[in-house]
Structure 1
Amino acid sequence: MASAVPSAMDRPHFIGIGGAGMSGIAKILAMRGARVSGSDAKDSATAAALRSLGVTVHVGHAAEHLADDADAVVVSSAIRDDNPELAAARGRGVPVVHRSDALASLMDGFRPIAVAGTHGKTTTTSMLAVALSELGLDPSYAIGGDLSEPGTNAHHGTGEIFVAEADESDRSFHKYAPEVAIVLNVELDHHANYASLEEVFESFETFVGRIRPGGTLVVDTDHPGAAELAGRVAGREGLNVVTVGEREGADVRIARITPRGTTSEVSVVAGGTETVFTVSVPGRHYAHNAVAALAAATALGVPADDMGRALGAYTGVRRRLQLKGEAKGVQVIDSYAHHPTEIAADLEAIRGHADGGRILVVFQPHLFSRTQQLADEMGQAIALADASVVLDIYPAREDPVPGVTSALIVDAAAARGADVRAVHGMETVPEVVAGMAAPGDLVLTMGAGDVTDLGPRILARLQD
């Protein structure tokens, strides 16, 4: 059981500090002058970035890593009860604070924008952070991924706006009290924590109920789940609902999305006024993310034209269709997509960028529970590629489930006529891909685990 957040976290210790959400909070606290320490299972570029801010980062978990004067220990839902540092904190009576409570406390005194949804949270949060920074508003932000520019996932700004990614996976977004909330979509995911889609809706309704009186909910009603949520919360006292999307009747209506190479020109109409701007990443779903960001910013008083121009400064998030390089005429692109909807959306986006070449996917399923529930849908999604390689399941925080393997996805894709094969052992993937790829092809590494590490290795093998 987590403790209440201490009135001041001057000497916090983070268990699992290298995680995307944890590292962002640690960075902001360090920027605010706290003496931060933490530990992670392995060293990383994130650990190096934290050390550059004066954070003490230990590799591995041990009771002695917890400093004698630590005044709080911050954990995420991924930290197990038998972690030695957590046990040491409880034995010494050091308050144990959940990551979401720590982030909520950081937003006190600001005008928060919280970005929620089953997909697109990191991208939309990043678009807001970059565009508001471009306008000189210097927002604080905490994002679940690193921006291409300025290359970090968190910042302590001097402005009044705080932009945060709101994670529904463990219901931690119930802790936030935003002035503006975005809900991009609502689907069943995180099966270890939600038994049904109805439970997911109830969780999002609770999140919406946390919006400050007089605040705004921005919801993309082109997505059926988000549209249903909007209907469920319509009429709540003190809540302004702003709908966005391509459908007639949306408050912020997307009039057209025009692909222009690897970018899109987007036209939106709100209150009879048209705003045209450029999104510097391909794909219809990224255009929708940008329009949601624009609507949220205008709810805080940022002029739509200014926000539209500033959104053009967004160049992407690491692992969101990130170009890793090119060798022998083959481009290698990395994607964080791990849910069937995300996989299909990224394949649709990249298809328009393939210039006639084939799309070859290297997919790593993420979590046994997700694979157990969505293997057929994952197979259907990767069948959209010209050929696919499916790796073993990345377990993250989960233990294996008997009978649940990546073969379920391979079989589902093969049943739809896909060219798909299973590969066991990441060390063999570069050789397999090199044997498949030809000049003009695109190789897309996909998944939320360590499949991202394969990009440079595939490029090196292609270059041989």
Structure 2
Amino acid sequence: MTPGLPAAMDRPHFIGIGGAGMSGIAKILAQRGAKVVGSDAKDSATAEALRALGVTVHIGHAAGHLADDASCVVVSSAIREDNPELVRAAELGIPVVHRSDALAALMDGLRPIAVAGTHGKTTTTSMLAVSLTELGREPSYAIGGDLDAPGSNALHGAGDVFVAEADESDRSFHTYAPEVAIVLNVELDHHANYASMDEIYESFETFAGKIVPGGTLVISADHAGARELTRRLAGSVRTVTYGEADDADVRVLEIVPQGLKSRVTVLLDGRELTFTVSVPGRHYALNAVAALTAGAALGIPADGLAPALAAYTGVKRRLQLKGEAAGVQVIDSYAHHPTEMTADLEAMRAAAGDSRILVVFQPHLFSRTQQLGKEMGRSLALADASAVLDVYPAREDPIPGVTSDLIIEAARAAGADVTAVHDKAQIPVVIAGMAQPGDLVLTMGAGDVTDLGPRILDRLSQQQ
């Protein structure tokens, strides 16, 4: 199956084309034959990967980057109204399309699986993409992270399945009409857009209501927020639950850690299935079960899909090994919400044995730090020592009184060994002074803390 280009998207212009979600859509459009142009604040490996597909990528934002004959301008919620290219689009009367609408158009005519939840979306979407590819199903996919190389966050496949990460942060996942929807968990996050858990539940209810007639909602039976959502939906959509709970439809019987892997046994349709998950941690094992359940709901034989899930070996920034120097391993983690932080630290603790775990944590967003800073600090108490950076603002302006000190104070109150580091350039020196052979170092957060891994390794190498 080869869907054509969506109407009015044959000459799209992307503002912020280097972002994970935006670059994936641009890549699929280019693979379908569109003449794609875009701009981004800085050059990157992702921009180079797009150029390799024939995409024109401008660095910096300027009105002159937007061609008069562009068929539409694609934006994300992060693009401000005063962006010069967006202003120019209004002057020229060029339609502006939100990235979620562009992604929904790409799914049209296919069998979409939309993966939602406060945590685990990228991993679960990636697991489905990799395992379906392993089975020869040639899926299309759009993921919020790279599988194994810059630009590998999306693909236009020849098969009939489209797997997409569905972002709840700005309610854009209401745009999709999936055949199968996954809800991994439901928690309060994205405080700039949601004021309460009731608003979160209402948003997820709307998402579930978009499932096509005859479709399926796959949802956790373990997570309290997911169970409440299931109760609220009250049979309005066909639901299949999964997890360790006794009443789960697809029940996890056993998760056995095996170093940096896990062996998982589930009861599905009255039969036991045992398979390997090639990344560490209980939460990743449960993500794999969600993927298995969704595939089965789409009619893919579980006997084939279960072993194919072992082909997934990770995604960039999800406990990704960056290298080793002076007997110290450096691992990168995208975790930025307390639940994610705790899950990744518990996974590393289970895999590390007697090794010490040192964390470089960069808080992401002032609003999140204001609401969840104390919980972040308590999560850091799971590490042997931590260095905490200043808040990475991303799209937000500072909030008076909200700094990383909120996290540091809570961590110290929980008995954690925490050092405040305000100059990011000093982190390699700080960590090299702390680390000993056998230690594991985690760079953790959703901002540019990921850039520090190679610098830490360089500094450690100099000490050998």
TM-score of the superposed pair, with normalisation by structure 2: 0.98
Question: Structure 1 residue 234: deviation in Å?
Answer: 2.5
The alpha-carbon deviation at position 400 of structure 1 amounts to 0.5
CA contact (8 A) 1:115 1:165 kept: yes
Match of 2:240 among 213, 236, 242: 242
* Distance in 2, Cα, partners of 1:47 & 1:235: 45
1:200-226 Cα shifts (integer Å, max 9, x gaps): 000000000000011000001101001
- Number of the residue aligned with 1:413: 411
Partners of 1:245 and 1:352 lie apart in 2 by 20
What is residue 167 of structure 2 aligned with on the other side?
167
Deviations 1:39-92 (A, max 9, x none): 000000000000000000000000000012101000000000000000000110
Q: Is 2:330 the counterpart of 1:332?
A: yes
Corresponding position of 1:302: 300
Residue 151 of structure 1 deviates from its aligned partner by 6.4
| Residues 148 and 315, structure 1, Cα contact 8 Å, conserved in 2 | no
Which whole-Å CA distance do the structure 1 matches of 2:212 and 2:70 have between them?
A: 33
Name the Cα RMSD after superposition: 1.1
**SS of aligned partner of 1:321:** strand
User: What is the one-letter code of the residue matched to 1:44?
Assistant: S
Q: Matched residues in 2 for 1:30 and 1:158: separation?
A: 15
Q: Which residue of 2 aligns with 1:311?
A: 309
Tell me how far 1:149 sits from its aligned partner: 7.2
Which amino acid is the alignment partner of residue 363 of structure 1?
A: F
Residues 1:153 and 2:153 aligned together: yes
- The SS at the match of 1:312 is helix
Amino acid at match of 2:168: E
Q: Which moved more, 1:350-359 or 1:43-52?
A: 350-359
What secondary structure, in the 3-state scheme, does the structure 2 residue paired with 1:432 have? helix
Aligned residue in 1 for 2:267: 269
Q: Does 1:214 align with 2:228?
A: no
- 1:280-319 C-alpha deviation (Å, 9 max, x unpaired): 0000000000000000001111111100011010010000
- Say whether the 8 Å CA contact 2:23–2:151 is kept in structure 1: no
Match among 446, 460, 463 for residue 462 of structure 1: 460
Could you say if the C-alpha distance between residues 112 and 6 of structure 1 is closer, same or farther in structure 2, counting changes exceeding 3 Å? closer
Mapping 1:6-405, distance limit 5 Å: 7-148=7-148, 152-236=152-236, 239-405=237-403
Contact preservation (8 Å) 2:335, 2:444 = yes
SS in 2 for 1:189: coil
Quick one: distance in 2 between partners of 1:164 and 1:90? 30
Cα deviation digits, residues 345-380 of structure 1 (max 9, x gap): 000000112131110000000000000000100001
Distance 2:10 2:93 in 1: 16
Shift of 1:16: 0.2
- Check the 8 A contact 1:338/1:446 in 2, yes or no: yes
Letter in 2 for 1:431: V
Which letter does structure 1 place at the counterpart of 2:37?
A: S
1:332 aligned counterpart, secondary structure: strand
Indicate if the aligned counterparts of 1:182 and 1:218 stay in contact, CA closer than 8 A.
Answer: yes
Kept in 2: contact 1:6–1:95 (CA 8 A): no
Assess if the C-alpha contact under 8 Å between 2:49 and 2:150 holds in 1. Answer: no
- Classify 1:51/1:164 alpha carbon distance in 2 versus 1 (closer, same or farther; 3 Å): same
Please give the alpha-carbon distance, in whole angstroms, between the structure 1 residues aligned to 2:65 and 2:340: 38
Secondary structure of the equivalent of 2:169? coil
- The one-letter code of the counterpart of 2:276 is T
Structure 1 vs Structure 2: percent identity of aligned residues?
A: 75
Q: Give the distance between the partners of 1:154 and 1:117, measured in 2 at CA.
A: 20
Return the offset for 1:247.
1.1
Instruction: State the number of aligned residues.
Output: 458
> Which amino acid in structure 1 is aligned with residue 242 of structure 2?
V
Any idea what the Cα deviations from partners look like across 1:229-255, whole Å, max 9, x if unmatched?
Answer: 11111221xx21000001112110000
Q: In the aligned structure 2, how far is the partner of 1:151 from the partner of 1:275? A: 34
Q: Which amino acid aligns with 1:68?
A: D
Q: 3-state DSSP class of the match of 1:310?
A: helix
Paired with 1:459 and 1:281, the residues of 2 have a C-alpha distance of 22
* SS at structure 1 position matched to 2:238: strand
CA displacement at 1:6 relative to structure 2: 7.0
Structure-2 separation of matches of 1:151 and 1:267: 34
For 1:388 and 1:149, how far apart are their aligned partners in 2? 29
Q: Which segments of 5 or more consecutive residues in structure 1 lack a partner in the other structure?
A: none
8 A Cα contact 1:180 1:296, kept in partner: yes
**Does the CA contact (< 8 Å) of 1:278 and 1:312 recur in 2?**
yes
How far 1:150 sits from its partner (Å)? 9.6
Structure 1 residue matching 2:352: 3-state secondary structure = coil
Spell out, residue by residue over 1:243-275, the C-alpha distance to the aligned partner (whole angstroms, 9 max, x if none): 000111211000000111100000010121011
What amino acid is the match of 1:407?
A: D
Shift of 1:414: 0.6
Contact 1:391 1:426 in 2 (8 A): yes
Cα distance in 2 for partners of 1:271, 1:143 equals: 29
Q: Give the letter aligned to residue 362 of structure 2.
A: Q
1:16–1:39 CA contact under 8 A, matched in 2: yes
Residue 423 of structure 1, CA deviation: 0.1
Shift of 1:388: 0.4
TM-score (norm 1): 0.98
Aligned counterparts of 2:277 and 2:128: Cα–Cα separation in 1: 12
Structure 1 counterpart of 2:138, one-letter code = D
Q: Name the aligned partner's letter for residue 229 of structure 1.
A: L
Q: Take 1:242 and 1:113, find their aligned partners in 2: how far apart are those partners?
A: 14
Structure 2 contact 118–186 (Cα < 8 Å) conserved = yes
Aligned AA (1:53) = L
Aligned counterparts of 1:322 and 1:151: Cα–Cα separation in 2: 17
The answer (yes or no) to whether the contact 2:50–2:151 under 8 Å persists in 1 is no
Q: Is the 8 A contact 2:222 2:245 kept in 1?
A: yes
Cα deviation for residue 114 of structure 1 reads 0.1
Report deviation, 1:8: 3.1
Query: What is the aligned partner in structure 2 of residue 434 from structure 1?
Result: 432
Mark the CA change 1:129 to 1:324 in structure 2 (over 3 Å): closer, same or farther: same
